[in-house]
């Protein structure tokens, strides 16, 4: 279905499942992106009522996870313990790194990173729940950085 990176067919399913999860759970309107293993967008959707900077935020969560190779929860821990490093990394990245939960690595059966999903709109914990469920729903493995 894919070799090194996630296909559009799988990325679409993850994006749609994230939105479905958010609506079913009564969360705030979500915005979600799936990036390939090179950090480039495969699919992104912003639900009606989501605020205007949400696309950049979900991209920052997913890109940050790929950039350092950890899920957002580990990025958040490092941001707490090593704030100077994360500030420097954010500058280095031209700002496009958001170190909070809701950035999730997507791994295949061998543990290879094939992409990442970023979600924003509700609390970071709730954002993450939707992403985890959506990655599992397509038979892949979410890595939130626990």
Binding site for its own copies (CB under 8 A): 3-5, 7-8, 11-12, 36-48, 50-53, 55-57, 60, 66-69, 76, 79-80, 82-100, 112-114
Minimum CB distance to its own copies smaller for 24 or for 85? 85
First to last CA, the chain: 27
Chain centre to alpha carbon of residue 72: 8
Minimum CB distance to its own copies smaller for 114 or for 129? 114
Q: Smallest distance, Å, CB 80 to its own copies?
A: 7
Q: Smallest distance, Å, CB 37 to its own copies?
A: 6
SS3 92: helix
Minimum CB distance to its own copies smaller for 97 or for 132? 97
Q: Smallest distance, Å, CB 16 to its own copies?
A: 9
Distance CA 115, CA 57 (A): 17
Q: Smallest distance, Å, CB 115 to its own copies?
A: 11
Minimum CB distance to its own copies smaller for 25 or for 87? 87
Distance CA 4, CA 84 (A): 33
Total residues belonging to the chain:
146
Distance CA 143, CA 71 (A): 6
* Cα distances (angstroms) measured from residue 129 to each of 12, 52, 60: 18, 22, 18
Minimum CB distance to its own copies smaller for 36 or for 132? 36
Distance CA 133, CA 144 (A): 12
Q: Smallest distance, Å, CB 129 to its own copies?
A: 18
């Amino acid at each position: 279905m894919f070799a090194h990176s996630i296909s559009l067919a799988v990325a679409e399913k993850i994006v749609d499942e994230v939105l479905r999860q958010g609506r079913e759970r009564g969360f705030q309107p979500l915005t979600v992106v799936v990036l390939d293993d090179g950090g480039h967008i495969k699919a992104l959707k912003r639900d009606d009522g989501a605020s205007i900077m949400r696309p950049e935020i979900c991209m920052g969560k997913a890109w940050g996870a790929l950039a350092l190779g950890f899920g957002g929860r580990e990025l958040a821990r490092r941001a707490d313990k090593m704030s100077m490093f994360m500030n420097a990394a954010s500058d280095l990245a031209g700002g496009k790194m958001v170190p909070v939960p809701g950035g999730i690595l997507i791994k295949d059966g061998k543990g290879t990173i094939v992409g990442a999903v970023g979600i924003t709109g509700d609390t970071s914990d709730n954002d993450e729940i939707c992403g985890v469920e959506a990655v599992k729903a397509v038979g892949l493995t979410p890595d939130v950085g626990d």
